[in-house]
Amino acid sequence: MGLPKIRLTAKKKKTPESEVPAVGPQIRLPKKPYRTHGGIHAENIKNTSNSPSEEMPIPPRVIISMRQHIGAQCEPLVKPGDFVTVGQKIADSQSFVCAPIHSSVSGRVKSVGTILMPNGEEIKAVEIETDGRQVVCEDVKPPHITNPNELYAAVRESGLADLGGEVLPAFVKPNYSAPDYAVDTLIINGAECEPYLTSDRREMLEAPEDIIEGSKLLMDILDIERVIIGVEDSKSEAMAKLHEVISEKELSGKMCVLKLKASYPHGAEKVLVKACTNRIVPMGGIPADVGCMVLNVTSAAFLARYVRTGMPLISKRITVDGSAIAQPKNVTVPIGALISDITEFCGGFKETPRKVVVGGPMMGTALYTLDYPIIKQNNGLIFMSADEVGAIEPTDCIRCGRCVSACPMCLTPVNVQYLVQKRDIRGINDINVKGCMECGCCAYVCPAHRPLVQFLRMAKDLCGN
């Protein structure tokens, strides 16, 4: 018969109506973060925190995927034999949730075919043999931005997809600042709460002026009243750098750095909005529903550089780490660089990795090959040895409720397996499975080592979410 179905609900402290910050003219800068629900204290492994960014030499070839974010797949604008230059648009789509793709190198198009993504999906891709000269496209020119419409157009043409891992074309976010949403707060995400990853930390240390410049551009053009930069307290040097630039530019009255407690997943949009403003994004909603727009620190810095130079998004800083790699470091690589070439640049392997993860260990994806190309959303490569990857067999659920306490979205992961196995669509909808952001907190704290995230994904598929 199995265990009986129970419905656990996390207790939530009711906030008095008078204490709920309103969307409107009453704007203030917070002095400390608001309390958020759930989360975990993952091991703070940040081996490359003090490793300055290194630029990888141009590889002999790149393979540029025609899907770099959620939404529509782009269609190639080039064919085999074409000569392409750095910053040249090589793919685009008429779909709204889509951003154009640009060549990260100069060279000759070798083929237009398909590649197999880690999730098993076949995606179109353009393979380019590089010439090593990095000839810049003559169309690369700084955009002219004086109003929101010009900003939307420029951000789209830049090809920017939010560089914090959310994989949404960034031009969609400024669009949320339309009058219907009454956005008054821009939140810049500098939490970077996943273990191993330090690429955003390096952005804050190496380019704080660009982060502030990009944030101010959005604030001025979109008439946003305040900017809150959320940074975890483990990044004191980065916070000091940002504080210094804010003071130098006399922006302290409209912009602040908010010190967040080091906790995972503080970098998730809805969690960050709660911590910075005490506003709760509704289930199935977006931050703009409560007057907020969220952008990653590296995205804000890129925007400032794009406005100055006109060079679209063609490269990405990633953290390369793990006990199997010879030289852990932060590397700036061209979009489309193969992981095998990046591995060679980092000295190769000390030992054969048991698992290779693109992204962080909590939300990243395991790879089946080193011939996979880097895309815009990637922010880390973790090469794990057998000592770091333990194969633990799951046991029966003991109904301890730890997954409920850890879930930042106040869901009940404990029920999901039974609902999925019974194909109980109504029951799955009752527990608001579409609110799951697949952060992995539930699986992390589960003493029975249940594959809860996988069951949550299956539940979403059953419901069509």
Q: At what angle do helices 208-221 and 148-158 cross, to 10 degrees?
A: 140
State how far the Cα of 418 lies from the Cα of 432, in Å rounded to an integer: 15
CB atoms within 10 A of CB 261: 15
Token digits of residue 245: 């630039």
Burial (CB count within 10 angstroms: exposed 0-12, middle 13-18, buried 19+), residue 367: middle
CA atoms within 13 A on the CB side of 18: 0
State how far the Cα of 201 lies from the Cα of 256, in Å rounded to an integer: 17
CA atoms within 13 A on the CB side of 101: 29
pLDDT of residue 5: 40
Contacts with 158 (C-beta within 8 Å, 6 or more apart), sequence order = 99, 143, 302, 303, 306, 312, 313
pLDDT of residue 172: 64
| Cα dihedral value 395, 397, 403, 404, nearest 10 | 180
Positions in the chain whose pLDDT score sits under 70? 1-27, 164-181, 465
- CA-CA distances (angstroms) from residue 204 to 98, 191, 302? 28, 11, 12
pLDDT of residue 117: 85
CB 376, CB 104: distance < 8 Å: no
Residue whose structure tokens are 């994904």: 457
Q: Which domains does the chain have, with CATH numbers?
A: 30-47+142-309 (3.40.50.11540), 402-463 (no CATH)
State how far the Cα of 112 lies from the Cα of 110, in Å rounded to an integer: 7
DSSP 316-338: EEEEEESTTBSS-EEEEEETT-B
pLDDT of residue 24: 42
Nearest to residue 380, comparing CAs of 363, 399, 398, 397? Answer: 363
| Number of helices followed by number of strands (H, E) in the chain | 13, 17
The predicted model scores a pTM of 0.90
**Kind plus residue range of the DSSP H or E element containing 246:** helix 236-248
pLDDT in tens, 278-294: 999 998 888 888 999 99
Contacts with 299 (C-beta within 8 Å, 6 or more apart), sequence order = 160, 162, 163, 164, 170, 214
